[in-house]
Structure 1
């Protein structure tokens, strides 16, 4: 499954509504509202949690994914050494990474692409990706229907 910074993941594009996502992936295995009133869809087969923002007319704006076949710019992510992946992505044009260490976990964050690589014991175990925000603090929705 391809991680597409600023666009989405796989065939999902930031800005899709729940009905658009359901046309691509089918009904979620679980759906609920989070503490902010956002809709959250869980898809077990994709190991993905999708968030649809309430204050943005329930547009798809964030994904947390642990699928073992995740890749970004042709680079395999899941269970790969975080430092190695960071260097490879930097060489491919993603040079700015903020790093945060908490116990056994490291979070590598690329603000420009609103991309977080979560590593435990130095191996990537999770990817978080969000819709980007422009200079006026508005989301940049890529889905046009």
Structure 2
């Protein structure tokens, strides 16, 4: 399950609609709307949470992944230290902001809209969103 910045995860691409995702993964285990009226799909076995943005015609714009098989730049992510992961990433992942709350620390790379969430010294989940371009628009990998 390869995470690709600016694109998505495996065959799931930023910009897909719910029907495209259901064709690939089937019906979600959980489906609800958040406070912003975005549609959220949860796939328990894949350990994926997908957000379809209401203000973008319900296109897939954000992932949360806690799958043990998830890779980033070919290296496993979940269970690794943040430094191990950062050392495998390309130069476009240079700048990181960190924010600590309770036992979690988020390591955010804005250029690639990627968050590595660290708990107990190891990455517990990865969050990745569609990249926002210079025109303040989301860049969609999926062209329908």
- In the superposition, the TM-score normalised over structure 2's length comes to 0.95
Tell me which residue corresponds to 2:71. 71
Q: In structure 2, the residue corresponding to 1:140 is in which secondary structure?
A: coil
Q: How does 1:1-145 map to 2 (within 5 A)?
A: 1-89=1-89, 92-93=90-91, 94-145=93-144
Which whole-Å CA distance do the structure 2 matches of 1:88 and 1:96 have between them? 14
Q: In the aligned structure 1, how far is the partner of 2:120 from the partner of 2:29?
A: 30
Partner Cα separation in structure 2 for residue 73 and residue 17 of structure 1: 26
Shift of 1:118: 0.2
TM-score with structure 1 length normalisation?
Answer: 0.95
C-alpha separation between the residues in 1 aligned to 2:122 and 2:13?
A: 27
What runs of 5+ residues in structure 1 fail to find an aligned partner?
Answer: none
The gaps in structure 2 that reach 5 residues or longer are none
- Moved >4 Å (runs of 4+): none
Pick which of 106-115 and 78-87 moved more. 78-87
CA RMSD, aligned part only? Answer: 1.0
